[in-house]
Structure 1
């Protein structure tokens, strides 16, 4: 008999939001088993806790992007607050709340009826104006069964000449950013997974991927230097921020949807990911964003992170399994 993997055991000794993904992605449990575990997200642990903070109108903290009691001093002194609807809904998607559940259907219907973006009063599922926000709105909407095709069409027309996106475009930016691009790519991928996508959305996803791949996921195209040292440090929850693990997990999901082979330009980022594995087989949380949250889902900076470890292990499992097929 094979010895149990202590890292897998550690991951399974956790919340349903972690356990069901370990069962599906790392130990290949039968689908009925991981689906049963996934169903617990609604009623147990982090998912149930986050749902308990929901307002009667379906929102969180009384606002779409900002809490109703938001004061600009809070952002300057303590960091951006993360308790409002858009970040709570994205976290439920990360947890894996079943989109077919009654609670999920009621939530997205309520948001469509009552939530409005602070920027211009637009109905929630019509999207905001910023590409980063709209990318995540597309991901959440597509995941939870909302027709977000109008936001997708808008995003495909907002690409910059280098193939990606930048939420500073309206203020004159002509170059794409890593963060804006990954937010949009994740949205387009979720849209493609749920609907098949459109020719324009698939083509836009291809150019956005090329933007990241040409830069090896973290380098400047001109100098080859790291565009931001923080891209190489692992963050959770990402919110709108970028790191190479987020990008690698995206490319894994994309390849699993389309059947594409892993792109060799991911190799340097994969090597860095391997190098950051601790001797005990786990990965640490390097940093986390400041600001108000409902609750924490990691043990703290510098501590082993189940979320980082889960994502890293499934990326490497995918990469190594495809490498063995190729060779």
Structure 2
């Protein structure tokens, strides 16, 4: 089958990214398609579900995966243009009306206590153009929470002094988004380099000490990933960061090749249980446009030696 045509026969949120990352369409055509995300399909549906109080799902962080935090993360993955009027109205409602339960009315973009949650808030604040003292404080805190091994862990320092893959990928994605927003920053670049080394030294999914696969679930690809780590998510980070392909990614790239079906598509795998606003694909084991798009652009990065700074 023609995989590209299959990918293009999709929601605008997929189409515009295929046009940018696979077909190499013109900038004007890509922008026009991206603008549809706010007005049609999944993006428009998600925006319409925002409550008058600014929240989605009736909560700030829970219920998973329909709360305000996770809905905004999904809108970012869909590529909702942060400069669009629709995004502006939605974010204004969040900024003015959403607070953290049990935190004395602390505003959404002020973040919470936990490193994982604060990384999510930071990536959203940077993506949706919310610079200011609140995000500066979150960034400073995140930089200060980096562990000696180079990664991050939401259980540190109370329960663990060793990094977590889940927390580390969230922190790396957040700092990359901040640099896209404010420009290169030496402190952020140094922290990202240490975090990237943490993942690379473990070949993205193996124990550094034993060489064993840490969690088999990390070798199966989910969308949306929510707060969970997997190999494809890590490779997408390195691609988006414009990193030079590293030989320590080769085994992970081999996993991506191995997940490809005979018809050239990749399946959806290991969907994380929880509530969803609506279904975007046909379920685990079925061909996935999201995973196919993500895998194709990761392989193109690895084989071509250049990254695509996704927005």
| Alignment partner of 1:56 out of 52, 58, 63 | 52
* TM-score of the aligned structures, taking structure 2 as reference length: 0.94
| Alignment partner of 2:123 out of 124, 133, 139 | 139
- The answer as to whether partners of 1:164 and 1:176 remain within 8 angstroms in 2 is yes
SS at match of 2:23: coil
SS at match of 2:204: coil
- The answer as to whether partners of 1:16 and 1:40 remain within 8 angstroms in 2 is yes
Residue deviations 1:216-251 (CA, integer Å, cap 9, x gap): 000011100011111101111100001000000000
* Unaligned ranges ≥5, structure 1: 68-80
| Alignment partner of 2:61 out of 61, 65, 70 | 65
Count of residues paired in the alignment? 302
Q: Does 1:317 align with 2:300?
A: yes
Displacement after TM superposition at 1:197 (Å): 4.4
Q: Does 1:203 align with 2:187?
A: no
Residue deviations 1:185-208 (CA, integer Å, cap 9, x gap): 101111111111432222111111
Match of 1:20 in 2: 16
SS at match of 2:93: helix
Q: Does 1:47 align with 2:43?
A: yes
Match of 1:299 in 2: 282
Residue deviations 1:90-144 (CA, integer Å, cap 9, x gap): 0000001110011211222221222111252421111111111111111111111
Q: Does 1:231 align with 2:214?
A: no
- The answer as to whether partners of 1:162 and 1:175 remain within 8 angstroms in 2 is yes
The worse-fitting range, judged by mean Cα deviation, of 57-66 and 216-225 is: 57-66
Displacement after TM superposition at 1:170 (Å): 4.3
Task: Output the aligned Cα RMSD.
Answer: 1.3
- The answer as to whether partners of 1:231 and 1:244 remain within 8 angstroms in 2 is yes
Match of 1:78 in 2: none
Q: Does 1:176 align with 2:163?
A: yes
Residue deviations 1:144-189 (CA, integer Å, cap 9, x gap): 1011222111100001110110111143211101110001110111
- The answer as to whether partners of 1:66 and 1:118 remain within 8 angstroms in 2 is no
**In the aligned structure 2, how far is the partner of 1:111 from the partner of 1:57?**
8
* TM-score of the aligned structures, taking structure 1 as reference length: 0.90
The worse-fitting range, judged by mean Cα deviation, of 291-300 and 213-222 is: 291-300
Displacement after TM superposition at 1:30 (Å): 0.4
- The answer as to whether partners of 1:119 and 1:128 remain within 8 angstroms in 2 is no
- The answer as to whether partners of 2:47 and 2:90 remain within 8 angstroms in 1 is no
**In the aligned structure 1, how far is the partner of 2:53 from the partner of 2:84?**
18
- The answer as to whether partners of 1:153 and 1:201 remain within 8 angstroms in 2 is no
**In the aligned structure 2, how far is the partner of 1:12 from the partner of 1:66?**
33
- The answer as to whether partners of 2:217 and 2:270 remain within 8 angstroms in 1 is no
| Alignment partner of 2:181 out of 178, 194, 197 | 194
**In the aligned structure 2, how far is the partner of 1:127 from the partner of 1:198?**
22
**In the aligned structure 1, how far is the partner of 2:304 from the partner of 2:225?**
27
Residue deviations 1:273-320 (CA, integer Å, cap 9, x gap): 111110000001121011111111121010010000000000001111
Q: Does 1:37 align with 2:19?
A: no
Residue deviations 1:57-107 (CA, integer Å, cap 9, x gap): 22212221024xxxxxxxxxxxxx211100000000000111001121122
* Unaligned ranges ≥5, structure 2: 307-311
Misfit runs of 4+, over 6 Å = none
The worse-fitting range, judged by mean Cα deviation, of 10-19 and 261-270 is: 261-270
